[in-house]
């Protein structure tokens, strides 16, 4: 692929007649609207976290919600993540639907004991008498040139824990519908928001939620771009990057399918297999370090279901096995266009020895 190909390009447009229910908004606005509607629909919903009340959150996701719904339902907490999650468990036991926020992904570490030992286990421990309808919002991943502990990828940590569900939206439409759905679940959901995409604007169809067969829930993976030569599997902020890569590859006649995993626990193994059976090649892209990253689980699911049809081993393009670097080095750490294209090239050129 030429240097000029690597420097430009964009994702294919998704045009068609715009539905009357569609509006353009940023991911920040989509999340804010979803929270506003959840508060209006369920009087037992509570939103809280560091600066979530009067300020509206460091990323303004909860902007205006306290003024509209009151300080008893949208409120600030002390700087104590273990306390925030411990309180969430107690509120859920009392019949509330808490939506706590940890201000940055790395700030979730002090609350791991509450998340893993209490939030994830209480329903099991109580034999189903104490469901945990907690949606933990976690501004996640890198891309904003922040200092240490402000750009982490914790999906593999949480996906490994029985009792937790994990989801990460890739665009404003997904953010709106996935958050609304997560907030109605009886199970604890870790909602990982790609903070580098908060200001991305796109169409949001407020009426259409990509319902599954039972007509109720936006679950499972979603093909964001159809293709036939290779499947790129990603989630969160990396979906947009993979769409950009697919657009560039198309200039060289390579037709890439982009599968947005969306739910990282449980993983939609059927959609994953269906895409890779069609293209017969796969590259998994994520920001987290390579070793024991969620890409390893995805690669195993692909291999298990598609072994007889794969033309090449599943490739992973990821972050490196080092702590997330400072902002001036994150462009080297996060999978960039060149690294993803090279991964595609290795898979396409693979020949069995």
Specify the 3-state DSSP secondary structure of 137.
strand
Of the residues 69, 97, 150, 286, only one is catalytic, namely 150
Is 150 annotated as catalytic?
yes
Specify the 3-state DSSP secondary structure of 241.
helix
Burial class (CB in 10 A: 0-12, 13-18, 19+), 76: middle
Residues 28, 34, 40, CA angle at the centre, nearest 5°?
135
> Which two tokens mark 203?
């169409």
Q: Which of 5, 12, 3, 2 is nearest to 258 (CA)?
A: 12
Mode of pairing for the β-strands spanning 263-265 and 165-167:
antiparallel
Dihedral sign for Cα atoms in the order 104, 109, 112, 113? negative
A 10 A CB-CB count for 328 gives: 8
- What's the Cα-to-Cα distance from 321 to each of 1, 134, 325, 346, rounded to whole Å? 28, 31, 11, 21
Give the CA radius of gyration of the chain.
Answer: 20
Burial class (CB in 10 A: 0-12, 13-18, 19+), 223: middle
What are the DSSP calls for 257-277, one per residue?
A: EEEE--EEES--HHHHHHHHH
Catalytic positions: 150
């Amino acid at each position: 692929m030429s240097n000029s190909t690597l420097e430009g390009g964009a994702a294919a447009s998704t045009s068609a007649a715009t539905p009357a229910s569609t509006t353009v908004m940023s991911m920040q606005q989509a999340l804010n609207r979803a929270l506003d509607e959840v508060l209006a629909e369920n009087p037992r919903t509570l939103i809280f976290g560091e600066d979530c009340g009067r300020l509206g959150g460091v990323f303004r996701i909860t902007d205006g919600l306290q003024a509209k719904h009151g300080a008893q339902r949208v409120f600030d907490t002390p700087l104590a993540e273990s306390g925030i999650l411990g309180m969430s468990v107690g509120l859920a036991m009392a019949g509330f639907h808490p939506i706590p926020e940890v201000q940055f992904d790395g700030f979730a570490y002090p609350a791991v004991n509450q998340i893993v030992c209490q939030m994830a286990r209480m329903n099991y421990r109580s034999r189903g008498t104490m469901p945990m309808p907690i949606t933990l919002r976690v501004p996640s991943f890198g891309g904003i040139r922040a200092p240490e502990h402000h750009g982490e990828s914790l999906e593999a940590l949480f996906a490994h824990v029985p009792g937790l569900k994990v989801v990460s939206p890739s665009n404003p439409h997904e953010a709106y519908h996935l958050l609304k759905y997560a907030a109605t679940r009886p199970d604890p959901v870790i909602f990982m928001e790609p903070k580098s995409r908060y200001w991305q604007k796109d169409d949001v169809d407020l009426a259409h939620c990509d319902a599954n067969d039972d007509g109720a829930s936006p679950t499972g993976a979603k093909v964001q771009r159809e293709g036939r030569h290779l499947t790129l599997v990603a989630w969160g902020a990396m979906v947009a990057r993979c769409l950009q890569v697919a657009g560039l590859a198309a200039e060289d006649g390579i037709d890439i399918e982009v599968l947005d995993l969306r739910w990282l626990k449980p993983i939609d193994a059927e959609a994953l297999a269906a895409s890779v059976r069609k293209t017969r090649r796969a590259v998994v892209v994520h920001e987290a370090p390579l070793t024991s990253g969620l890409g390893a689980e995805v690669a195993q699911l692909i291999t298990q279901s598609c072994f007889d049809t794969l033309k090449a081993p599943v490739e992973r393009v990821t972050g490196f096995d080092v702590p997330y670097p400072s902002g001036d080095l994150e462009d080297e750490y996060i999978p960039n266009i060149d690294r993803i294209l090279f991964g595609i090239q290795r898979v396409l050129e693979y020949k069995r020895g």
